[in-house]
Amino acid sequence: MRQDESALDIVQDAMMKLAEKYADRPPGELPMLFQRILQNAIRDWFRRQKVRSTWTTLFSSFGGKDDDEDFDILETLQAEDTSNIPVSPAAQWEQAQLLTIIEQSIGKLPGRQREAFMLRYWEELDVAETAAAMGCSQGSVKTHCSRAVHALSAMLKSQGISLESILRTTEN
């Protein structure tokens, strides 16, 4: 699938980063720097797409209730027609149980870790945007995200859930 708008955004972001950070460099170095920035931006975009695809699939079965006073961002998202919602009732039940466990695990994370995790991997903010939103340094965002991922992994693993079981459930 072609995503021309995304490609243009990536190139534009790379050009902006080059202009902002390397304007003082000699002109002969700029093509090489731009190539490196662009390659990194492309890799980052694909990584974000992969992570978001996994989480979107996992959380797509959450539904919102109009009379519920508690607002949950996950409830505002609608599953796409191409999502991996299981057809059989047994598979739907299994996925619902898995999603409940994942949601509870995310809820058990310390506030700053949960905030960093959701901003980076759900909202797709980059490290700088997440740092600005959280009012902390980029290094703190990276630390919070890393700790959140490790804590989630440990919590899920302690309940017998692995990445393979998550992917297997979403493929049914």
Q: Does residue 77 fall inside a structural domain?
A: no
Q: What is the pLDDT of residues 53-112, one digit of tens each?
A: 766 665 554 444 454 455 454 455 555 555 556 667 877 788 788 888 888 888 999 999
* Rg of the chain over all Cα atoms, to the nearest angstrom: 19
Q: Are 51 and 88 part of one and the same domain?
A: no
Q: How many folded domains does the chain comprise?
A: 2
User: Range of 10's domain?
Assistant: 1-59
Q: What is the pLDDT of residues 34-57, one digit of tens each?
A: 899 889 888 888 888 877 776 666
Q: Does residue 64 fall inside a structural domain?
A: no
Tokens 């990445």 sit on residue = 163
Q: How many CA atoms lie within 13 A of 74 on its CB side?
A: 20
Fill in the amino acid letter for 97: Q
Q: Show the tokens assigned to 146.
A: 């890393």
Crossing angle of helices 89-108/30-59, nearest 10°? 120
Residue 84 to residue 58: CA distance in whole angstroms: 9
Residue 15 to residue 19: CA distance in whole angstroms: 6
Residue 32 to residue 12: CA distance in whole angstroms: 16
Q: Are 119 and 48 part of one and the same domain?
A: no
Q: Are 54 and 90 part of one and the same domain?
A: no
Q: Are 52 and 109 part of one and the same domain?
A: no
pTM: 0.46
pLDDT category of residue 169 using cuts at 50, 70 and 90: low
Q: Are 112 and 144 in contact (CB under 8 A)?
A: yes
